[in-house]
Structure 1
Amino acid sequence: MRRTGIFLLSLVVMALNSTAREMVTLRKGWEFHRGDIANIDLKADRSTGWESVSVPHDWAIDQPFDMSNDLQTVQVIQDGETHPTLKTGRTGGLPYMGIGWYRRSFDVRPGKMATLVFDGAMSEAKVWVNGHKVGEWPYGYASFHFDVTPYLNPDGRDNVVMVRLENLPFSSRWYPGAGLYRNVHLLTTDSLYVPVWGVHITTPYVKDDFATVRIRTLVNAVSPTHGVRVDTEIINPNGISSGRMSGIVSHIDSTGCVEQNIEVSSPALWSPESPCLYTAVTRVYDTGGYLCDSVTTRFGIRTIEVIPHRGFYLNGHHRKFKGVCNHHDLGPLGAAVNRNALRHQLEMLKEMGCDAVRTSHNMPDPQLVELCDEMGFMMMIEPFDEWEIAKCRNGYHRFWDEWAERDMVEMLRHYRNNPSVVMWSVGNEVPTQCSEDGAAMAAWLRDICHREDPTRPVTAGMDQVACTLENGFAAALDMPGLNYRTHKYHEAYDMLPQRVVLGSETASAVSSRGVYKWPVEISGNATYPDHQSNAYEVESCAWANIPEVDFALADDFPWTMGQFVWTGFDYLGEPSPYNTDAWPSHSSLFGIIDLASIPKDRYWLYRSQWRKDDHTLYVAPHWTHPGREGKITPVIAYTDFNEGELWINGVSMGRCRKLSAVEADSAVAAGDSLALIRRYRLVWDYVVYTPGEIRVVAYDDDGRAAMEQTVRTADTPYALSLSSSQAELTANADADRPLAYITVSVVDRDGNFCPDDSRLVEFEVKGQGRFRAAANGDPTSLDPLQEPRMHLFSGRCTAIIEGINADDADNPSGVVTVTAIASGLRKATLNIPIR
């Protein structure tokens, strides 16, 4: 009985002490004012011009598209331009420019320290608390924090934070978003505490039977810290303690850090296939034994190594990156971050076989990094698109001298514990790469990375490869990253001391889902009157190449390190090759997956090469082409099998076999323009279009039928059909509400997909959910993204539905009911349970 009493008392003490540190995400209760305000007098009328919003918030995404928004007349050297041209839709045609203010009240218990943590604010943030300016941070992609303790009201109540943000025109090359588009947190602690990002964990020794975990903890204190006790315990992926170290610290070193080393037996290693995560719980006690702070840090145990001539090794195993580059916007949701939308994107990429993400070309939201830790994606984190020389008139170069190192240090300390992060990039295609000071500046940034985190290699995305090979810029990096310039890979390998080459940005292939063009020809900058690109996946921009070029480099040469494809998803802005006086084009065509989260045919090409644990067979094109009767219409099968047979209306068109590397080289020499494609796809060139049915049977290496797919010509459109990314949704009031991506398709009476329909679809949402956004994947569509209607594009579109709590719903039925309606078609309804 006495033991039980002591145990209960201990629980009470732990509960009291657990309030020493509290991190609260400030989502609700914000007010927003578009435009500048005359003063920050807190006693002024608080209603005029202010609206209630939740954060994250993007003030531009619900506004109309307009060609006049941020017109830029510039010369894009990276694209090979020789003179300035008028760029329409370059930043998405959305009004992200201007000034916006946010404000919110918050309480802090008396005697506590308070820190405001911003995951990102777009941009040029200036922050006040109770009318006192506490700081500023200009870079919109940077995470930053301010100690606001000196500015709190004496009783800690009704403190008001105000944030001024300003986006200048000509400040971006893509849609950056606007506002408090990432989370804001309030951290409260005692006076003896671990500051933000104050724990640094490394694993100096990793063996099969043990690993050594080194924890360096920064301790801040208002009073002297003699006699402070720091206790750290490591919890393994199964929730079991794996080691602990505790002791009185007689003094703290000159950096303010306490170092501890803990051995972990039989470590579970982090990898994309097995993303095992450990947790370090660090507790700080004062001289009286009072728990002043408790910090939980998630980390992984793994090794990374770059070996000359051989490439990248994770946990001692050689692997090549199967990665994508992604911008930060979430398509129709805009730049306002949403954890469930990020997870949705990563799930689609994982299904494709992708194992790595490059944050192009900016610091990521921390939730993306956390999800990559959990789901198993290696990351290249990249902070800058320009250094001290401008790409954009009002770009980051304005802040370089004062802020570059500060931004780098905050980024490095923020993410150096995340096991998913396997390399740092210090920049993308910076004009500085060809300047006299380029190599020295690259070395300076590299050394900052090594100082803050000596465990990871450093790279940069270089597009001006000739000069970087000559001037020392490429040699200054731990890993030379080449953006495209595949014809320079061998020269780079031969000249550089690293003796490896990373495809830091590859392909820039372009296509429009479901829009097929004839004849089927590989092209480096094809344009068409409809502002679309060929869904046969044979086109790229002028500086780039089709995907097969990168596949071959990865397959044929051990010193190539794999690739990061431009891009995983389409994004708002940069509508190449339609970026010059080409309105209404305003979103990219680069994505493997379109803006509506619907895969293009290229998705199946990458899946056939990257998913080694599952088979792939996808047949293209769709087989509904009115007016093409009797014309040559090639058929392509994207598959990991090497052989297949095509049948049209029951008649065999013969077997097709992929070419070997040697055969492909010979075919290229013989003048076959599609030879490289035939190495990675099954291609039937001379098929004559006949309505009806096409069927492809794939054969394994023993000649046995292994998979098949049938595509049928559609009859008259009859009905809408709905499918959901989620079978059910889980409501959570304290986090981002769950999302379901509802794909709308047009079908005939037999259920065959109708690929040419473009009529308007309207959405009704009832029950425990609400409409959030819609998109169709058409880079020229001007339909508003935030209204419950959207035109179909190539027979499909997507609605994003948000699940809500029962007490917030007009009709809390336990389900969300989504209905899609289009003129002349049978409507469709889908019920999704809410748990």
Structure 2
Amino acid sequence: MRGFFILPALAISLGVSAQRSDTALKQWEFSRDMSDWKSVSVPHDWAIYGPFDRSNDLQKVTVEQNGEKTATWKTGRTGGLPYIGKGYYRTTFEVPDTAGQVFSFEFDGAMSNPRVKVNGKEIGHWAYGYNSFYINVPAGVIVPGKNSIEVSLENKEKSSRWYPGAGLYRNVRLVTTSPVHVPTWGTYVITPVVSAKEASVRLTTEIAGAAKAQKILVKTDIISPDGTVVATNNSVYHAQGQPFVQDFLVEKPQLWSPDTPCLYEARTTLSVDGKDVDVYNTRFGIRSLEYIPEKGFFLNGEYTKFKGVCQHHDLGPLGAAVNKAALARQIEMLKDMGANAIRTSHNMPAPELVELCDQMGMMLMVEPFDDWSFRPKSQNGYGSIFGEWAQKDMENMVKHYRNNASVVMWSVGNEVPSQWGPDGVSELVMLQDICHRLDPTRPVTCGMDQYGAVIDNGFASTLDIPGFNYKPQYYTQAYEILPQKLILGSETASTVSSRGVYMFPMELKAGAKYPNHQSSGYDTEFCSWSNIPDVDFSMDDDYPWMIGQFVWTGFDYLGEPSPYDTDSWPNHSSVFGIIDLASLPKDRYYLYRSQWNKKESTLHILPHWNWKGREGEKTPVMVYTSYPSAELIVNGKSYGIKSKGEAKPLDYSKRLSMSFYDRDKAWDEDRVQDKAGMERYRLVWDDVVYQPGEVRVVAYNADGSKAEEKTVRTAGKAHHLVLTPNRSKLAADGEDLVYITVQVADKDGNIVPDDSRAVKFATKGAGSFRATANGDPTSLRLFHLPEMDLFSGAATAIVQAGKTPGVITFEASAKGVKPAKISFVVE
């Protein structure tokens, strides 16, 4: 396996030249039937407003990936929201003059099957709702003065396995340029050589609209993160339709990494006959990627593990409508947990996510779809259009994001049934070749779940990086068999849990279901195909060729409510997340943080200590901590000091010859081993007897000295509401958000962890209420109404800033407790 080196960038036109303008089209009219029109702001998701209903996209399917043999009714599979059907958008825009100008429309995504008309004339269409695309407007269609644009969309039934959203849910722009210009995604940056001393930069630029043999002066400045021009190339392009290459040397470069997300800019100016006709900015980061056989992944020469999560595109109660502040909130929480990477499962991301990952320091595996042509997973899913659209979609994806510093790997699919099919390898080669042709600097992977098939038919050996979903028991064997000598956990864990809900007895269990339709917060339950996080920690820690993992998932998302996916309404959101649908961390967040965040300490106790009716019963206590040992003290009684277990590699060799779905034959033996892995990463006291009072944990350093302590107390009667915002100031841009955690406390300030009362919200001043959620996968409360039941004692309210500076006042009230009020500055 060759090493991969990269310097990436994102091409963005910023409208700095009079000849190039980039106008966001924000205000539209929307209708479901072309008669009842209402004003909306784009990005807009028409389906997130509900109502939830079991009948919405009810699917009778056989999920072969889960080992199912017969079709069953899947309820809540796509979130129980009314996303199926047609929608129509229209707006107008002004063009003072069209002379000497060309126009295009850029769509960051439109769900789905968009058809675009300008002034009544259809100018183009796309199919895949997740992909960004652009349409060059034919000459004469746009006229001086007022113009109209109409977009029609249609979501077909049985087209998705999760909630896809509906409408113009990502941004739309009108781009105006001179005839000679850099087209959309028309630049490509690499850095062939990177060191602390110097870096070479190569910029390849497409130039559209030039006459044959026309001479165009191309000046590109390389601008450092502090705004200084550090290199310039001023040269002449002799137009013959070929791309134009410019080279640069940057001394003492500031290297991009998750810890130092330094970004450069290539500012390219095109001049014709002494007149500047276009300015195009390309943002990029200087860094190197090396995937070295047997040794692992190296970023800027430093050994690095992927501590990643898989992410769906929806933003919980905001739906699929992209919001930069919401995405930034997610990245902030993941970085605090210690994560350094995101997999865009299983779809092209919003450009805002990629931009934020560049700026905030989060590596990305960008993935396009999870269906190819062979045996589509959904009747009207991507497999139904693969033959016509796969090449176009892949080319758009790679050209769009091949310059981004954060993008370090391409994925071409996920658990595709083509793994089994006779044409699977040829489809894989076609998709991988597109990536290699357009971007030979990054490796290609694919999330594979059919271990036996992909080993036997050559599918796994064809990839640059073999990515396995839920196969830690096969990693060592795959490493020995496959030629790449590197393994990636492209999807790991599938541990399930509900925030603040605990099931007794605490035990390792697959596919556990309960009358309340929740999963245990002890983090010991998982799906039939998966395992607890500790198994994946062990694999990462014990093998250098194991380049890391992407957990399923970072956040809960709408749809796929496993294990409550078969005739289990009202479940309609996942419980896979480390963080719930309300952006509230589950206990598991602190388990990952204790292993991944090496900069700050972690000390977390579970469960809560309000267990009326369990007096005298064994109630296990766990501690997730970055410290090697800790002592548990309950109501003054010490339960002893526990230390993390010995680092001993897990051995699954006895089951390697078994079919994956025959693993239950070795179940008891494997569970014992997995429990030993659990003891390596968490501290567990099984014999604690519950009595109301105080649970105290004292953590110790490796030398035995006291390091930190934490206490959890039994809360008394609910007394007042508590509001905890994630920030105090917002930007007056009409889109910025503040997330407010809403809880109940007793008179002494102890949080009541099992309160479930309804809380009402009111907002005044320079902002408005946007949405609310509580993380309960069974809740049918509508997100956009200002009232929510607490779930496990908490909910989240989201408030959006207006466009005028001022103060927002937010108040929460509920029966039986004192209200709470808080204010935010909008500036």
Q: What's the TM-score bracket when you normalise by the shorter of the two chains?
A: over 0.9
1:664 and 1:143 mapped to 2: Cα distance? 43
Partner of 2:90: 103
Contact map agreement 2:111 2:166 (CA 8 A) in 1: yes
Q: Does 1:827 align with 2:816?
A: no
Partner of 1:167: 155
1:368 and 1:805 mapped to 2: Cα distance? 23
Q: Does 1:201 align with 2:189?
A: yes
Partner of 2:125: 136
Q: What pairs up with 1:335-414 in 2 under 5 angstroms?
A: 335-389=320-374, 390-414=376-400
Q: 1:593 aligns with which of 548, 556, 579?
A: 579
Say if 1:672 and 1:241 are closer, same or farther in 2 by CA, change over 3 A. closer
Contact map agreement 1:516 1:535 (CA 8 A) in 2: yes
Question: Which secondary structure state, in structure 1, belongs to the residue aligned with residue 428 of structure 2?
Answer: helix
Q: 2:238 aligns with which of 224, 231, 250?
A: 250
Q: What pairs up with 1:681-700 in 2 under 5 angstroms?
A: 681-700=682-701
Q: What pairs up with 1:559-638 in 2 under 5 angstroms?
A: 559-638=545-624
Contact map agreement 1:325 1:565 (CA 8 A) in 2: yes
Q: 1:115 aligns with which of 86, 92, 104?
A: 104
Contact map agreement 1:128 1:161 (CA 8 A) in 2: yes
Q: What pairs up with 1:410-425 in 2 under 5 angstroms?
A: 410-425=396-411
Q: Give, as a single letter, the amino acid of the residue that structure 1 aligns with 2:243.
A: C
Partner of 2:10: none
Question: Which secondary structure state, in structure 1, belongs to the residue aligned with residue 250 of structure 2?
Answer: strand
Contact map agreement 1:152 1:159 (CA 8 A) in 2: no
2:486 and 2:420 mapped to 1: Cα distance? 21
Q: 2:44 aligns with which of 43, 57, 78?
A: 57
Q: Does 1:512 align with 2:498?
A: yes
Deviation string, structure 1 residues 567-620 (Cα, Å, up to 9, x no partner)? 000000000000000000000000000000000000000000000111100011
1:350 and 1:395 mapped to 2: Cα distance? 33
1:397 and 1:656 mapped to 2: Cα distance? 52
Kindly state the Cα deviation for residue 420 of structure 1 after the two structures are TM-superposed: 0.4
Kindly state the Cα deviation for residue 75 of structure 1 after the two structures are TM-superposed: 0.4
Contact map agreement 2:105 2:134 (CA 8 A) in 1: yes
2:282 and 2:810 mapped to 1: Cα distance? 40
Contact map agreement 1:664 1:679 (CA 8 A) in 2: no
Partner of 1:126: 115
Deviation string, structure 1 residues 292-331 (Cα, Å, up to 9, x no partner)? 1000110011111111111211111111100000000000
Q: 1:659 aligns with which of 634, 642, 645?
A: 645
Tell me the TM-score normalised to structure 2 length. 0.94
Question: Which secondary structure state, in structure 1, belongs to the residue aligned with residue 139 of structure 2?
Answer: helix
Contact map agreement 1:664 1:678 (CA 8 A) in 2: no
Q: 1:334 aligns with which of 312, 319, 323?
A: 319
Contact map agreement 2:556 2:579 (CA 8 A) in 1: yes
Partner of 2:741: 743
Say if 1:670 and 1:206 are closer, same or farther in 2 by CA, change over 3 A. closer
Contact map agreement 1:668 1:675 (CA 8 A) in 2: no
Contact map agreement 2:534 2:674 (CA 8 A) in 1: no
1:517 and 1:317 mapped to 2: Cα distance? 42
Partner of 2:9: none
1:154 and 1:560 mapped to 2: Cα distance? 58
Aligned residues: 796
Contact map agreement 2:371 2:383 (CA 8 A) in 1: yes
Q: Give, as a single letter, the amino acid of the residue that structure 1 aligns with 2:781.
A: D
1:481 and 1:672 mapped to 2: Cα distance? 24
Tell me the TM-score normalised to structure 1 length. 0.94
Say if 1:17 and 1:72 are closer, same or farther in 2 by CA, change over 3 A. closer
1:267 and 1:16 mapped to 2: Cα distance? 27
Partner of 1:4: none
2:565 and 2:698 mapped to 1: Cα distance? 41
Question: Which secondary structure state, in structure 2, belongs to the residue aligned with residue 211 of structure 1?
Answer: strand
Question: Which secondary structure state, in structure 2, belongs to the residue aligned with residue 193 of structure 1?
Answer: coil
Question: Which secondary structure state, in structure 2, belongs to the residue aligned with residue 18 of structure 1?
Answer: coil
Contact map agreement 1:129 1:151 (CA 8 A) in 2: no
Question: Which secondary structure state, in structure 2, belongs to the residue aligned with residue 717 of structure 1?
Answer: coil
Structure with larger RCO (C-alpha < 8 A, sep 6+) = 2
Say if 1:291 and 1:697 are closer, same or farther in 2 by CA, change over 3 A. same
Partner of 2:452: 466
1:665 and 1:749 mapped to 2: Cα distance? 52
1:247 and 1:722 mapped to 2: Cα distance? 59
Deviation string, structure 1 residues 728-754 (Cα, Å, up to 9, x no partner)? 112125xxx210101000111111111
1:765 and 1:753 mapped to 2: Cα distance? 24
Q: Does 1:177 align with 2:178?
A: no
Q: Give, as a single letter, the amino acid of the residue that structure 1 aligns with 2:351.
A: P
1:663 and 1:560 mapped to 2: Cα distance? 13
Contact map agreement 2:165 2:321 (CA 8 A) in 1: yes
Contact map agreement 2:123 2:138 (CA 8 A) in 1: no
Say if 1:146 and 1:723 are closer, same or farther in 2 by CA, change over 3 A. same
2:692 and 2:534 mapped to 1: Cα distance? 30
Deviation string, structure 1 residues 87-143 (Cα, Å, up to 9, x no partner)? 000000000000001111112332211110000000011111111111110000010
Q: Does 1:93 align with 2:80?
A: yes
Partner of 1:796: 794
Say if 1:458 and 1:823 are closer, same or farther in 2 by CA, change over 3 A. same
2:679 and 2:142 mapped to 1: Cα distance? 71
Partner of 2:227: 239
Say if 1:153 and 1:529 are closer, same or farther in 2 by CA, change over 3 A. same
2:489 and 2:232 mapped to 1: Cα distance? 42
Contact map agreement 1:665 1:675 (CA 8 A) in 2: no
Partner of 2:175: 187
Kindly state the Cα deviation for residue 497 of structure 1 after the two structures are TM-superposed: 0.2
Contact map agreement 1:721 1:746 (CA 8 A) in 2: yes
Say if 1:664 and 1:471 are closer, same or farther in 2 by CA, change over 3 A. closer
Say if 1:586 and 1:16 are closer, same or farther in 2 by CA, change over 3 A. closer
Say if 1:230 and 1:531 are closer, same or farther in 2 by CA, change over 3 A. same
Deviation string, structure 1 residues 507-544 (Cα, Å, up to 9, x no partner)? 00000000011111011110001000000111111101
Q: Give, as a single letter, the amino acid of the residue that structure 2 aligns with 1:545.
A: N
Gaps of 5+ in 2: 1-13, 653-667
1:590 and 1:664 mapped to 2: Cα distance? 24
1:285 and 1:189 mapped to 2: Cα distance? 13
> Which segment drifts farther, 561-570 or 204-213?
204-213
CA RMSD of aligned residues (A): 1.7
2:385 and 2:673 mapped to 1: Cα distance? 51
2:423 and 2:89 mapped to 1: Cα distance? 40
Q: Give, as a single letter, the amino acid of the residue that structure 2 aligns with 1:513.
A: R
Contact map agreement 2:770 2:798 (CA 8 A) in 1: yes
Contact map agreement 1:570 1:594 (CA 8 A) in 2: yes
Gaps of 5+ in 1: 1-14, 38-47, 807-811
Question: Which secondary structure state, in structure 2, belongs to the residue aligned with residue 374 of structure 1?
Answer: helix
Q: Give, as a single letter, the amino acid of the residue that structure 2 aligns with 1:21.
A: R
Contact map agreement 2:371 2:414 (CA 8 A) in 1: yes
Kindly state the Cα deviation for residue 723 of structure 1 after the two structures are TM-superposed: 0.5
